[in-house]
């Protein structure tokens, strides 16, 4: 049997009930793991001593104070500078990570379904990881380098009292957890978000300026691409969140209508081939996107290289992507069924999140 991860050893100190029996037995009979456990215990003791104020902290109260402070600050910002929500979403659209997702969705492929004057160029039927390095994020221009993005529909994420209210707000069946993993207990809090839609208009002028800033020359855009519009939509969605003993999320089960993309008439092949040729897109990232099939059904999922590992699994017959932090302290699994994406994640190991995922009840 492989040695338990450093995260599992730390969990034996902080939350022993959440560690699998097989890991416990291995550690008990393994000198190397016992040494690692002793180190984790010494670290925990040192931290406890440093933080000891002579009083017993009220974690729940602290968490509520923090949540309240954040909410108050958000309301203050919204009141002081309306429309702050729209600006916040516009700022998020400029981020390199969002650029990766947006460009990747447009490059992933296209279907033949038409909706009014829009042509569907992407629909999510499965998810595949795309490795992103810190250098990629630094090198990748934000979306404003290639055109303008406008928020058409905002998600309006909010808490609702129970699963019935969540289903009514989203129209989605809220998955029920059959058996909570060790270390997770109680009832979840439910959050919902409405459908989010963003429209992106490609600008050859802006793209040329971005290329020039990088010391490159922009390839001539094909007919119809300049001022061509792309509309990306996702949601509505719902998340059930269980807090751990520390007040942080211990388990999250989320479900949402999977992302789709449409264009104002630009054929998918035209956009794909041209966008992959643009200066500024890291070659390794472009190579990963080129490896995707052209049927327009695979959603790229950016994964931080060196920090998260990915693997494949099966959840009730659907291909799933399993993500695990390098230290093993956090894991998640995500899959798509009938145009709906479901994810399970938390302060668990990969086996635990898969057990929860495979045991979900509708």
Contact 329, 11 (CB under 8 A): yes
Determine the average pLDDT of the residues in 194-198: 92
Contact 337, 249 (CB under 8 A): no
The domain spans of the chain are: 6-43, 119-361
Instruction: Name the pLDDT band for 23 (thresholds 50, 70, 90).
Output: confident
323, β-bridge pairs:
310, 332
Q: What is the per-residue DSSP string for 20-67?
A: -HHHHHHHHT-HHHHHHHHHHHHHHHHHHHHH--SS---HHHHHHHHH
User: What is the pLDDT of the chain when averaged over all its residues?
Assistant: 75
Flag the least confident range among 13-22, 186-195, 319-328.
13-22
Q: pLDDT tens digit string along 143-158? A: 778 888 888 998 899 9
pTM of the model: 0.64
**Torsion angle, CA of 297/298/301/307, rounded to 10 degrees?**
170
Determine the average pLDDT of the residues in 11-37: 68
Percent with pLDDT over 70 in the chain: 65
Q: pLDDT tens digit string along 292-315? A: 655 567 777 878 888 889 899 999
Any idea which residue has 């129209």 for tokens?
Answer: 171
Query: Per mean pLDDT, which of 51-65, 229-243, 259-273 is the most reliable?
Result: 229-243
d(Cα 184, Cα 179) in Å, to the nearest integer?
A: 10
d(Cα 200, Cα 214) in Å, to the nearest integer?
A: 22
Determine the average pLDDT of the residues in 17-41: 69
Task: Select the more confidently predicted residue: 5 or 321.
Answer: 321
Determine the average pLDDT of the residues in 237-247: 82
309, β-bridge pairs:
324
pLDDT of residue 89: 44
């Amino acid at each position: 049997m492989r040695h338990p991860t450093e995260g599992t050893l730390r969990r034996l100190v902080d939350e022993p009930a959440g560690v699998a029996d097989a890991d416990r037995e291995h550690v008990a009979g393994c000198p190397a793991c016992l040494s690692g456990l002793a180190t984790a215990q010494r670290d925990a003791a040192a931290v406890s001593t440093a933080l000891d104020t002579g009083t017993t902290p009220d974690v729940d109260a602290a968490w509520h104070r923090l949540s309240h402070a954040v909410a108050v600050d958000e309301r203050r910002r919204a009141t002081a500078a309306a429309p702050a929500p729209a600006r916040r979403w516009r700022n998020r659209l400029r981020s390199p990570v969002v650029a990766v997702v947006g460009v990747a969705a447009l490059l992933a492929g296209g279907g033949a379904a038409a909706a009014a004057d829009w042509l569907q160029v992407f629909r999510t039927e499965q998810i595949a990881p795309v490795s992103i390095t810190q250098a990629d994020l630094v090198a990748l221009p934000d979306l404003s380098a290639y055109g303008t993005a406008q928020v058409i529909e905002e998600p309006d994420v909010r808490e609702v009292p129970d699963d019935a209210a969540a289903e009514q707000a989203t129209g989605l069946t809220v998955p029920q957890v059959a058996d909570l993993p060790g270390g997770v207990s109680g009832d979840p809090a439910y959050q919902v978000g409405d459908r989010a839609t963003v429209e992106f208009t490609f600008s050859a002028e802006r793209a040329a300026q971005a290329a020039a800033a990088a010391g490159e020359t922009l390839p001539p855009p094909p007919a119809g691409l300049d001022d061509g519009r792309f509309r990306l939509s996702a949601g509505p969605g719902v998340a059930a969140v269980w807090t751990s003993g520390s007040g942080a999320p211990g388990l999250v089960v989320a479900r949402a209508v999977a992302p789709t993309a449409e264009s104002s008439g630009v054929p998918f092949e035209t956009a794909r081939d041209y966008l992959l040729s643009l200066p500024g897109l890291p070659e390794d990232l472009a190579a990963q996107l080129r490896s995707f099939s052209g049927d327009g059904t695979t959603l790229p999922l950016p994964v931080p290289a060196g920090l998260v590992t990915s693997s494949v699994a099966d959840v009730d017959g659907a291909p799933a992507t399993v993500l695990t932090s390098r230290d093993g302290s956090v894991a998640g699994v995500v899959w798509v069924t009938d145009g709906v994406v479901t994810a399970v994640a938390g302060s668990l190991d990969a086996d635990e999140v898969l057990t929860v995922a495979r045991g979900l009840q509708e």
